[in-house]
Amino acid sequence: MKKIINNWHNISVFLAGAFALVAILMPMGTVNRLLLAANAVLFLHFFEEFGWPGGFPLVGMKVLMNSSESDSSKWGVNNLSSMFGNWGFLLLVYILPLLLPSVRFMTLAAFMFLFAEVLMHFVIFPIRLKACYNPGILTTIGLGIIGCCYFFGGEFDAAMYVWYDWAIAVVWFAVVFFFSFRSPLYYKLGRKPGYPLTRQSAFGSMEL
């Protein structure tokens, strides 16, 4: 089990392929196909951040946690907490809408969060890091295309939503984000031994 958890980001590549095949081959509505495509790209996103070139944990510490600590063993982050956070967030925000398509705010939240990814990787991270590249930025292009061009630029029907759908959507992904990446459970998992980040996962092939 530890071997699987410590390779969660590599396994994500195969999961991306599986979701892509389902999106291409299975008959379904366009919105569900876009959600499946978003899942596929998000799994690749995890690989870019933690596999190759990796280095997102360092970016997270610098930008999100405002820490200059260079010893990754003191970050309180490991493969177990990273898998829990990323896969858990994807399950609740991107897979759940596939199972509950009539819950409007969930579908809205999934595509709204793609905007947040674009904002973080193309604006906030580059400014804070003073660097053009940050781990995850390449796959974020795909996320932006799915969210901005295909959903909000094509399939989105404003008449389907009322004002509180937007409000609940923001609250929903904020709560899920907190549970996945800031909850006591996340930090507890991050302290468990046996799931250390590799240097490439922690600092990346292009160390910032």
Contact at 8 Å (CB) between 206 and 55?
yes
Q: Is residue 102 part of a domain?
A: yes
Largest CA distance in the chain: 51
pLDDT digits (tens, 9 = 90+) for 151-165: 999 888 888 999 999
Q: Is residue 200 part of a domain?
A: no
pLDDT at 47 over 90: yes
Q: Is residue 204 part of a domain?
A: no
pLDDT digits (tens, 9 = 90+) for 57-108: 999 999 999 999 989 999 999 999 999 999 999 999 999 999 999 999 999 9
pLDDT at 206 over 90: no
Q: For the whole model, what pTM was predicted?
A: 0.96
Integer angstrom CA distances of residue 8 from 160, 174, 197: 37, 24, 11
The Cα 183–Cα 157 span in angstroms is 34
The overall average pLDDT reported for the chain is 95
Q: Is residue 202 part of a domain?
A: no
Q: Is residue 205 part of a domain?
A: no
Q: Is residue 143 part of a domain?
A: yes
Q: Is residue 67 part of a domain?
A: yes
pLDDT attached to residue 148: 87
The Cα 95–Cα 2 span in angstroms is 25
Q: Is residue 117 part of a domain?
A: yes
The Cα 55–Cα 72 span in angstroms is 11
pLDDT attached to residue 50: 98
Integer angstrom CA distances of residue 197 from 60, 120, 123, 136, 200: 14, 23, 27, 17, 8
pLDDT attached to residue 207: 59
**Other C-beta atoms within 10 Å of 165: how many?**
17
The Cα 119–Cα 144 span in angstroms is 10
What's the rounded mean pLDDT across residues 33-57?
98
> How many domains, in total, are found in the chain?
1
pLDDT at 208 over 80: no
Could you list the residue range(s) of the whole structural domain that residue 131 is in? 2-195
